[in-house]
Amino acid sequence: MKNKTKVYFILAGALLPLLTTAQINKQETIDEIIIKENRIQIPFQKNNRNIEILTAAQIQKLPVKTINEMLGYLNGVDIRQRGPFGSQADISIDGGSFEQSLILLNGMKISDSQTAHHNMNIPVPLEAIERIEVLRGPAARIYGINALTGAINIVTKQVQETTISANLYGGSSFKNRDEEDKSSVYYGAGARIGGTWHSDKQQHQFYYSKEKSNGQRYNTASENDKLYYQGQLHINEKNSVDWMGSYMYNKFGANGFYAAPGDKESEEIVETVMASISSKHQLSNRLSISPRVSNRYNEDDYRYFRNDLSKARSRHYSNSLSLELNGRYETDFGDFGLGWETRMDHIQSSNIGQHSRENHGAFAEFRTDKIKNIDLNIGTYVNYNTQYGWQIYPGIDLGYHIHENWKIVVNAGSSQRVPSFTDLYLNQRPGNIGNPDLAPENAWQAEGALKYSKQGITAQAGYFFRKIKSFIDWVREDAKNPYQPFNMGINNMNGINTNFAYTFAKGETSYFVNVGYNYLQPSLKTEEGIISKYQMENLKHQAKLLLSASQKDWSVSLANRFNQRVSNKSYFISDVRLSHNMKAFSIYVDLQNLFDVTYVESMAIPMPGRWYSAGVRYQWTKK
């Protein structure tokens, strides 16, 4: 342990002397970012919510290759992977369940109505991402139902030039695979190709990626293919049209993923198709509208016995069609946001059955910064669900500038999560069964924080309290009984969150430091002898330290994260990336899990130990 600690401090020390001698000569551009809500657009520095942003430049320097890996370095985000390389992962925010976080792509809801286990089936490669926005706290006033504990919005890049790109990478632990197959070395590899085309009127981008791994242990091999296309047409200065289409094929051995130890021979194949078309219209100097139609189709083929498909096979076909109309009206005193949306969910399944439901929402909000020293955003969302009736989600965000660079923010709001089709109707004995009598989860949260922003520095420290009524958890009395979801009562959560980010430069050398710490204290009371499937593994302590330095064509990054769960399981992971740019080419080398830590993120599934990988990127740009 002493040697590992010594190595860590040597690596950290290689960057810290540079940090202490540098002088600031670069303004952090994060203050210029506009948060991509669907109605009222809010500059980052004027937002009164707990929002963290990870930009494309930061993503490129991190020692990660998938969205799942990247999200592990965001404050308050708990990513629980069942193996690496994007095979399967659950995500939650601030101690909530994986069903309580809403996932969006450019504002389009891509969460799965069958089960949130498929929410991370995202076909977008890292090269196409402009930034990730994490909105923590109840977001129903902004995004509607199922944003109970927060929302993650993936914002893709706008095409600025014509390019052709490729990215090839591979890696290994250089250790033999576990269990009976000890003769082969554990490996993972991937390839991505893409292209963009730009003209005055039209912009197009297309990417194809493939990832493959032989699995760390028996029956955990994975393979996925992703296709992503996005286009845009500028009709004139006041009108434009955007469209998107994607496909993802994900196949993986699911040994121990859902129903250990009996699922040793299980396998899952998931196919996801998404499409959307939207437009923006500036009807006057003050009024603009943006309609959108989107659809998400998902096929899930779960084979409990992959070598015998005649029994214990689950096949699910789900579809979600969404219609939206968002509007914005500007006045001299402030901006009004108005809108309506409808979502129609349908599933046909071998062990869930055939079910449909609709959700209709109308929303209104008002934002102003015209009051001296005050930023105010207030609104409400009125929702009707054909299964659960009417609900109203009011909310308010208030910021008070106590100084040019200091601001106190407070916000409060409510939200709801309706049970998924799996929660309600699953019949997968002897492992899991649903509960058609479940009621929706309802939450109320209040938060206060102090924010600071100046010349490349952004910092925040805050406290929040959340109360969830009719909290849903999957539980069982003993191993002889199946897991089943129940409304467990009230789940209270107290949380403290801090984050400090600093970007600065000296000459041709730039630096980035990001430090964050979060503490969560839940108070859910359960009966003696009840076994929880998910809740007892929530994070209690979470800390991160990201350091990077770039000089001319070289950059080095050190990414560290510490997680401790309420069960007292903890782990500390350090990853390193070294990269070099050579005109159209760039080469990078990653060393992940530097100290070869043994740890799990979900269930009893071990994650890889020390992992070595290398990759090369190529990009041709039309002059």
Rounded Cα distance between 162 and 199, Å, is 8
- Beta carbons of 515 and 500 less than 8 angstroms apart: yes
Largest CA distance in the chain: 72
pLDDT for res 227: 97
pLDDT exceeds 50 at position 26: no
Tokens of 256: 């121990």
pLDDT for res 16: 37
pLDDT for res 602: 77
pLDDT exceeds 50 at position 464: yes
pLDDT for res 3: 44
Q: What H or E segment, with its residue span, contains residue 69? A: helix 67-71
Average pLDDT of the residues of the chain? 88
Place 1 in a pLDDT band, splitting at 50, 70 and 90. Answer: very low
pLDDT for res 80: 87
The residues, ordered by sequence, that sit 6+ positions from 187 with a Cβ below 8 Å of its Cβ are 170, 171, 172, 213, 214
pLDDT exceeds 60 at position 27: no
Rounded Cα distance between 190 and 351, Å, is 34
- Domains observed in the chain: 2-621 (2.40.170.20)
Place 591 in a pLDDT band, splitting at 50, 70 and 90. Answer: very high
Averaged pLDDT, 163-171: 96
Total length of the chain = 623
- Beta carbons of 167 and 588 less than 8 angstroms apart: no
Averaged pLDDT, 397-423: 94
Convert the pLDDT of each residue in 222-235 to its tens digit: 999 999 999 999 99
Place 430 in a pLDDT band, splitting at 50, 70 and 90. Answer: confident
Q: What H or E segment, with its residue span, contains residue 330? A: strand 313-330
Tokens of 448: 């206060």
Please provide the DSSP assignment of 222-261 as one string.
EEEEEEEEEEEEEEETTEEEEEEEEEEEEEEE-TTTSSTT
pLDDT exceeds 70 at position 181: no
Task: Select from 432, 447, 525 the least CA-distant residue to 484.
Answer: 432
Residues in a beta bridge with 281 = 239, 289
- Beta carbons of 594 and 576 less than 8 angstroms apart: yes
pLDDT exceeds 60 at position 6: no
- Phi, psi of 598, deg, nearest 5: -90, 120
Rounded Cα distance between 441 and 420, Å, is 11
pLDDT for res 289: 96
pLDDT exceeds 60 at position 5: no
- Beta carbons of 291 and 324 less than 8 angstroms apart: yes
19 CA to centre of own chain: 30
Q: Which segment of 72-86, 221-235, 569-583 scores lowest on mean pLDDT? A: 72-86
Place 504 in a pLDDT band, splitting at 50, 70 and 90. Answer: confident
Q: Which segment of 37-51, 288-302, 488-502, 512-526 scores lowest on mean pLDDT? A: 37-51
Tokens of 158: 């706008």
pTM of the model: 0.91
Sign of CA dihedral 122, 126, 128, 133: positive
The residues, ordered by sequence, that sit 6+ positions from 399 with a Cβ below 8 Å of its Cβ are 46, 47, 48, 374, 375, 376, 407, 408, 409, 451
Beta-strand pair 150-156/101-105:
parallel
Convert the pLDDT of each residue in 327-386 to its tens digit: 999 999 999 999 999 999 999 999 999 999 999 999 999 999 999 999 999 999 999 999
pLDDT for res 534: 62
pLDDT exceeds 50 at position 558: yes
Tokens of 54: 């990870």
Please provide the DSSP assignment of 426-472 as one string.
-EETTTEE--TTPPPEEEEEEEEEEEEEETTEEEEEEEEEEEEET-E
Q: Which segment of 40-44, 458-462, 587-591 scores lowest on mean pLDDT? A: 40-44
Tokens of 10: 């040597």
Please provide the DSSP assignment of 415-426 as one string.
EEEPPPHHHHH-
- Choice between 177 and 272, residue whose per-residue pLDDT is larger: 272
Residues in a beta bridge with 505 = 510
pLDDT for res 372: 93
Q: Dihedral of the CA atoms 384, 389, 390, 396 (nearest 10)? A: -80
Give the Cα-Cα-Cα angle 570, 69, 421 (nearest 5 degrees): 90
Alpha helices in 264-378 (DSSP H): none
**Which amino acid is located at 2 in the chain?**
K
pLDDT for res 8: 40
- Beta carbons of 458 and 30 less than 8 angstroms apart: yes
